[in-house]
A and B are shown apart, each in its own frame.
Chain A
Amino acid sequence: MTGLIGLSCAQVSKPLPNATMSLLTILEYPDLRLRKRASAISEVNDALRRIIDDMFETMYAAPGIGLAATQVNVHKRLLVLDVSENKDTPLVFINPEIDVLDPEPLGYEEGCLSVPGYFDLVTRPKKIKVKALNRDGETFEMEAEGLLAVCLQHEVDHLDGKLFVDYLSILKRQRIKHKLLKDKKKDERGESRAEA
């Protein structure tokens, strides 16, 4: 169901040796920084690979299946994801470019680490092709359908400052926004969200 087509082992991201990783803070809607357009990456170096590793750790801990750099306040065209059930297929996409192969709409109940607790149906093209750089700076291409296609499009949207709630009705979006702002205020007053 992950819809991996022609995935080679070289694309699977392995962390830097001996690196200590750390959890990054995920920005939450309606934070305006989520609206920034990310800029292209000119060089894939160790500093970038460190960010990639931290992003993976943050994504797995959340837990999520995809994370765009924009969500951790890094405004570069970079995203990580792992749609495998066993969480053993980390994929990284640098400067991703998407082409639609099959425009037939596929509906999926999406959720987002930047919009915690909300899920709604979003329709996107069913099959896509993505071209990107891997963590070694090499170009690769991949076809994707199913959940992988959904997740890739969701994350590339982030790099363009777009969120899945933008596909919902304005009424729903407003309701989610107010709810999350209210939760944030509660957090700031020191009340834990998990206990009433």
Chain B
Amino acid sequence: MSFQPERVLACHILTSLLQHRGSLASLLTTETLAKAQSPALLQELCFGVCRWHPRLNFYLQHLLEKPLRAKDMDVQCLLLVGLYQLLFMRTPDHACVNECVGTAEALGKPWAKGLINAVLRGAQRQQDELSALAERDYSAWYAHPQWLLDQLKKDWPAQYRDILDGNNQRAPMSLRVNQLKATRAECHGLLASNAVASTAGELAQHSLYLAQPMDTAVLPGFAEGMVSVQDESSQLVAALLPLSPGLRVLDACAAPGGKTCALLEAEPSLQVLALDNEARRLPRIQQNLDRLGLLATVRCADITVAGAEQFGRFDRILLDVPCSATGVIRRHPDIKILRTAAEVENLVSKQRALIHAAWPLLEPGGYLLYSTCSLLKAENTEQIAHLLSACPDARHIPLTIAVATTCDYGLQLFPKAGGTDGFYYALLRKQPIAE
């Protein structure tokens, strides 16, 4: 019996992705990975091509005499995979070229063999020239779509180069230790006794970084609810939102429930209502709560739709709004291919609607923590400025985190090699009636 080569599987996945028929998350499923003999290689090819797509595609356009037809997207993907292996993975040249040429057959495009051979050999020969050309093209060199590059440069003129570099790194795997079940040191010990190396995160009290990413199915303590997979930046919401026993808390956009659980681990007596407007994502919240041994009410609801009053008022609201996810590009490099400037505009209006819907649900004297995994000011500090101007009873409460950048309102974290994702937080308080 033989396996389908990883290259062929990667071509199928990337073709669907470039034709906007899915994302890495929806296409590179556990079942798809299981089709490959080396799931790690399949993952590397798909993530790598997305991560470097603007640069690889730039090279490809220089190497092709004429553009490929739309129906030959699979051939284009095979060329991108080949270029990635040649230029980024250091796959031996002859092996890479021969295998890619052979793959044309498996794609049912034997006519493309000559073309593939010519393009990849051309890339080998002209490596230095191609790099020199790419260096003069910002989008290609920094491997970001032009609109996003322009926006980041405008929003963060002093930091954008570091941000772009951060986005091109591989994300580390970080864990949140369930403080109700173990201390960070105990968990570190459990991992170490299973030959899993980890180090403590510097920002979040219960965070651990794994030296090597691993499948949660074999992660010690995961099934028992001792640890969860969560970026350090997301863990911080539990430290930034002032909590005390028994408070009524609304997590308005809760799925998959990571932050809901982080809040409950910090203060298990909270009465949490976890909402999400996508019914299919609710079971994930419940699974996480069950695994960790936490209690919350989980409902499918959209607070921007009439009827949110039925839920009553809350002492604390976590508003972790849907966003452009530009702070987690290193985890979802397909954002570079799929996200458009127009989508960001839609997200900004959606966020604004969520803010307007959430604010009346907050008790006077209560706190609302607004968060995004975006790096764009339109989704972050500008939204808070808007809220403050629209809601006279809203007060901005300054936050502090070491290494975070202070904005007009709120704090911004940038993606950092070996550290956090890009993330934004702002804390607001509704003026008490007595004041």
Interface membership of chain A positions 155-196, coded 1 if the CB is closer than 8 angstroms to chain B and 0 otherwise: 100000000100000000000000000000000000001111
For B, the interface residue count at a CB cutoff of 8 angstroms equals 20
Q: Is the CB of A113 within 8 A of B38?
A: no
Q: Is the CB of A1 within 8 A of B34?
A: yes
Question: Which stretch (B111-119, B319-327, B349-357) binds chain A?
Answer: B111-119
The reply to whether the CB of A154 lies closer than 8 angstroms to some CB of chain B is yes
Given contacts A85-B38, A109-B35, contact A119 B114 (CB under 8 A): no
Q: Is the CB of A151 within 8 A of B1?
A: yes
The reply to whether the CB of B106 lies closer than 8 angstroms to some CB of chain A is yes
The reply to whether the CB of A112 lies closer than 8 angstroms to some CB of chain B is yes
Q: Please tell me which one of the listed residues A62, A85, A195 contacts residue B117 in the complex, with CB atoms under 8 A apart.
A: A195
Given contacts A196-B110, A196-B114, contact A111 B102 (CB under 8 A): no
Q: Is the CB of B106 within 8 A of A112?
A: no
Q: Is the CB of B105 within 8 A of A111?
A: no
Q: Which residues 7-59 of A sit at the B interface, judged by CB distance below 8 A?
A: none
Interface of A is mostly: mixed
Interface membership of chain A positions 102-131, coded 1 if the CB is closer than 8 angstroms to chain B and 0 otherwise: 000000011111001101000000000000
The reply to whether the CB of B297 lies closer than 8 angstroms to some CB of chain A is no
Q: Give CA–CA (A1, B34) in the complex, Å.
A: 8
Count A/B pairs, Cβ under 8 Å.
55
Q: Is the CB of A64 within 8 A of B1?
A: yes
The reply to whether the CB of A132 lies closer than 8 angstroms to some CB of chain B is no
Q: Please tell me which one of the listed residues B4, B113, B114 contacts residue A111 in the complex, with CB atoms under 8 A apart.
A: B4
A154: chain B residues within 8 A (beta carbon): 1
The reply to whether the CB of A96 lies closer than 8 angstroms to some CB of chain B is no
Q: Please tell me which one of the listed residues B4, B37, B102, B110 contacts residue A109 in the complex, with CB atoms under 8 A apart.
A: B4
B1: chain A residues within 8 A (beta carbon): 64-66, 81, 110-113, 150-151, 154-155, 164
Report the minimal beta-carbon distance from A89 to chain B, rounded to whole angstroms. 13
Interface membership of chain B positions 105-137, coded 1 if the CB is closer than 8 angstroms to chain A and 0 otherwise: 110001101100100000000000000000000
Q: Give CA–CA (A65, B105) in the complex, Å.
A: 21
Q: Give CA–CA (A85, B37) in the complex, Å.
A: 6
Residue of A nearest to B105 (CB): A117
Q: Give CA–CA (A109, B33) in the complex, Å.
A: 12
Residue of A nearest to B104 (CB): A196
Given contacts A196-B110, A196-B114, contact A65 B3 (CB under 8 A): yes
Report the minimal beta-carbon distance from A107 to chain B, rounded to whole angstroms. 9
The reply to whether the CB of A63 lies closer than 8 angstroms to some CB of chain B is yes
Report the minimal beta-carbon distance from A189 to chain B, rounded to whole angstroms. 15
B8: chain A residues within 8 A (beta carbon): 119
Q: Is the CB of B2 within 8 A of A111?
A: yes
Report the minimal beta-carbon distance from B8 to chain A, rounded to whole angstroms. 8
By a beta-carbon cutoff of 8 Å, the part of chain B in contact with chain A is: 1-4, 8, 34-35, 37-39, 98, 101-102, 105-106, 110-111, 113-114, 117
By a beta-carbon cutoff of 8 Å, the part of chain A in contact with chain B is: 1, 62-66, 81, 85, 109-113, 116-117, 119, 147, 150-151, 154-155, 164, 193-196
- Please give me the 7 A-B residue pairs with the lowest Cβ-Cβ distance, nearest first: A196-B113, A66-B1, A111-B2, A64-B2, A154-B1, A119-B4, A196-B114
What are 30 of the A-B contact pairs (CB < 8 Å)?
A1-B34, A64-B1, A64-B2, A64-B3, A65-B1, A65-B3, A85-B37, A85-B39, A109-B4, A110-B1, A111-B1, A111-B2, A112-B1, A113-B1, A113-B2, A117-B105, A117-B106, A119-B4, A151-B1, A155-B1, A164-B1, A193-B102, A194-B113, A195-B101, A195-B114, A195-B117, A196-B101, A196-B110, A196-B113, A196-B114
